[in-house]
Amino acid sequence: MTDDDTLLPPRRVRLLAEAEPGLLPRVLAPFARRGVILEQLIVTRQGAALAIEIVIPPLPAAVLRPITGNLRQIVGLVACTEETLAGIAIAA
């Protein structure tokens, strides 16, 4: 098993981006292209910005790395943080 095949634990990604009509499709596109179904998606408007919280299921490193890389390149992104949810059970 290579490092790219290693199943990584669930992750929470938090984004803060300028609120604009095309933002959500751009956020969801990297997941859809790879056939990933999210565990949770929460979007909250904060003035002129959108706060987006995404819980990603366990994925191989080879799948997760390009997704998080794509998220960090979104036009209008103000901040992006990522944390591991080790020890938290995701419903099967």
Is residue 27 included in any domain, yes or no?
Answer: yes
11: domain CATH number? 3.30.70.260
Burial class (CB in 10 A: 0-12, 13-18, 19+), 22: exposed
Q: What is the pTM of this model?
A: 0.87
- The count of other CB atoms within 10 Å of the CB of residue 56 is 24
Is residue 92 included in any domain, yes or no?
Answer: no
**What domain count does the chain have?**
1
Read off the pLDDT of residues 8-60 as tens digits, 9 standing for 90 and up.
Answer: 999 999 999 999 999 999 999 999 999 999 999 999 999 999 999 999 999 99
Is residue 91 included in any domain, yes or no?
Answer: no
Is residue 37 included in any domain, yes or no?
Answer: yes
Is residue 14 included in any domain, yes or no?
Answer: yes
- For residue 10, the enclosing domain spans 3-84
Is residue 29 included in any domain, yes or no?
Answer: yes
Is residue 89 included in any domain, yes or no?
Answer: no
